[in-house]
Amino acid sequence: MRVLKSNSLLALVNSYISDSPQPVNLSYAWNFGSLLAICLGTQIVTGVLLAMHYTPSVDLAFISVEHIMRDVNYGWMIRYIHANVASFFFIFVYLHIARGLYYGSYKAPRIMPWSIGVIILVLMMAIAFLGYVLPYGQMSLWGATVITNMLSAIPWIGTDFTQFIWGGFSVNNATLNRFFSLHYLLPFVLAALAAMHMLTLHTHGSSNPEGISANPDKAPMHPYYIFKDLITIFLFFIALATLVMYAPNLLGHSDNYIPANPMQTPPSIVPEWYLLPFYAILRSIPNKLLGVVGMLGALLILLAMPLLDDGRGRGDVHRPASRVAFWVFVGIFFLLMFLGSQHAEEPYITVGAVATAAYFLWFVMLLPIIGMMENSSFDGTNAPASSQAV
């Protein structure tokens, strides 16, 4: 017997990525899982290398990053890969979630992988935020100030809790050390969650674009999907190399090349692009506590997708109204992303408030109503002739 099947650990590898039966009709929308695994691996490897040369101290953090850029052999490349893969990580995770929304991947029996995925998304955002603080440029300091201040909205204990997190009365040396420690630790928690994501997916297998059982026609993961995954992995490497070699700072903010200065706020404080939609929701709600609740709610409402989508079919492929609704959601998402990058002035304040309302109404109203309508029209056209109204 081949050792790949007899060894208890290799048998797992075989069961997950070699012999695993996959639907034969998977499209390229099913390639993001492998890309995300590559991203996490790259981030951990480059992150460990960066940590060998980085110093988490308010006096030395900025110059230690400059030291990495100038003195460490290929340090510039390691850092730029780390920074840009973070962006790709979010591009892929958003596309992965969009695939899940469009094709109904959140529906039973795959509620567990979906729920773990939402937790992964929230954790990923936290890790990305913590990492952005580490170079200790202007945007690091003031971004950290804005985001940690959100904790002060917690009733009664807010201010005390925020100062507890800071380890002082503002973002300071203790905060930077804590953030470094957590930025190193949490990716391993993320890796464990990703393993659980795969574990729960493996129980039932992948869904497929048609939304019906693929059991009658399956193909093994290797070689079919291993090589299909490799196509997008190499495309990703080409895009990443282009960005790292030719435009490494395209997705960053120039203010983060100014050393952090607690005596001067930058003209505008904006997070990285991937946090903008949720930042827009935070700013659109005038009440501080409700803003924080709204921002977290915007992420966690994804957990309710299996309940909110009452359509009987899986996915939007055979449901035209749901398909339009999906693209409406994409539109709201991009609009919020744009609004998050702008100054909080009119008309962006009003448009932001409406877009925030639209974001939540999409989940709690549009989705269930469209599901109901489509179920009714399905029943109307498919009911037995004897039960149809004359």
Partner 1 sequence: MRPSAPAQSHMPGPKTYGGWWGDIGSLPQKGIKTYGVSPYRQRAMAGALNGYIFNGFSRVMGHLPYVAPPALFFYGVYYWSKSKYEYFNSKQGHYDRLIEEGHIKPGQYERPTVTPIGH
Catalytic residue list:
202, 206, 228-229, 272
51 binds partner 1 (CB under 8 A): no
3 binds partner 1 (CB under 8 A): no
Residues 227 and 26: their CA atoms lie apart, in Å, by: 13
Kindly tell me which residue out of 41, 174, 327, 377 binds partner 1, with binding defined by CB under 8 A.
Answer: 327
Closest CB to partner 1 among residues 293, 321: 321
DSSP tally for the chain: helices H, then strands E: 16, 2
Q: Which among 59-67, 93-101, 135-143, 347-355 is the span making contact with partner 1, rule CB under 8 A?
A: 347-355
328 binds partner 1 (CB under 8 A): yes
Residues 241 and 30: their CA atoms lie apart, in Å, by: 23
Kindly tell me which residue out of 53, 67, 178, 218 binds partner 1, with binding defined by CB under 8 A.
Answer: 218
- Smallest gap from Cβ 338 to partner 1, in A, equals 6
- Smallest gap from Cβ 222 to partner 1, in A, equals 13
Exposed, middle or buried by CB within 10 Å (0-12, 13-18, 19+), for 2? exposed
Residues 112 and 200: their CA atoms lie apart, in Å, by: 6
Kindly tell me which residue out of 38, 85, 292, 335 binds partner 1, with binding defined by CB under 8 A.
Answer: 335
7 binds partner 1 (CB under 8 A): no
178 binds partner 1 (CB under 8 A): no
Closest CB to partner 1 among residues 164, 334: 334
Under 8 Å CB-to-CB from 287, ≥6 apart: which residues?
A: none
205 binds partner 1 (CB under 8 A): yes
Q: How many CB atoms lie within 10 A of CB 28?
A: 12
- Smallest gap from Cβ 341 to partner 1, in A, equals 12
Kindly tell me which residue out of 181, 203, 254, 376 binds partner 1, with binding defined by CB under 8 A.
Answer: 203
- Smallest gap from Cβ 273 to partner 1, in A, equals 16
CA atoms within 13 A on the CB side of 10: 7
Exposed, middle or buried by CB within 10 Å (0-12, 13-18, 19+), for 117? buried
149 binds partner 1 (CB under 8 A): no
Kindly tell me which residue out of 118, 121, 194, 214 binds partner 1, with binding defined by CB under 8 A.
Answer: 214
Closest CB to partner 1 among residues 128, 316: 316
Quote the tokens at residue 48: 């460990």
Using the structure block, give the residue that is written with the tokens 């004359």: 390
Angle at CA 275, nearest 5°, toward 334 and 284?
70
Q: How many CB atoms lie within 10 A of CB 161?
A: 14
Q: Note whether 226 and 17 are within 8 A (CB).
A: yes
Kindly tell me which residue out of 29, 146, 199, 351 binds partner 1, with binding defined by CB under 8 A.
Answer: 351
Sign of the four-CA dihedral 150, 164, 118, 220: positive
- Smallest gap from Cβ 140 to partner 1, in A, equals 28
Q: Note whether 54 and 25 are within 8 A (CB).
A: no
At position 250, the amino acid (one-letter code) is L
Coil, helix or strand at residue 199: helix
Kindly tell me which residue out of 24, 290, 334, 377 binds partner 1, with binding defined by CB under 8 A.
Answer: 334
Q: Note whether 117 and 197 are within 8 A (CB).
A: yes
Q: Which among 235-243, 254-262, 298-306, 341-349 is the span making contact with partner 1, rule CB under 8 A?
A: 341-349
Kindly tell me which residue out of 181, 347, 364, 383 binds partner 1, with binding defined by CB under 8 A.
Answer: 347
Site size with partner 1, rule: CB under 8 A: 36
320 binds partner 1 (CB under 8 A): yes
Quote the tokens at residue 25: 């009709």
**Would you give the binding string for partner 1 spanning residues 93-132, x where CB under 8 A is met?**
----------------x-----------------------
Kindly tell me which residue out of 21, 167, 248, 306 binds partner 1, with binding defined by CB under 8 A.
Answer: 21
Residues 357 and 352: their CA atoms lie apart, in Å, by: 9
Binding positions for partner 1, rule: CB under 8 A? 1, 5-6, 11, 15, 19, 21, 109, 203-205, 213-216, 218, 220, 320, 323-324, 326-328, 330-332, 334-335, 338-339, 342, 345-348, 351
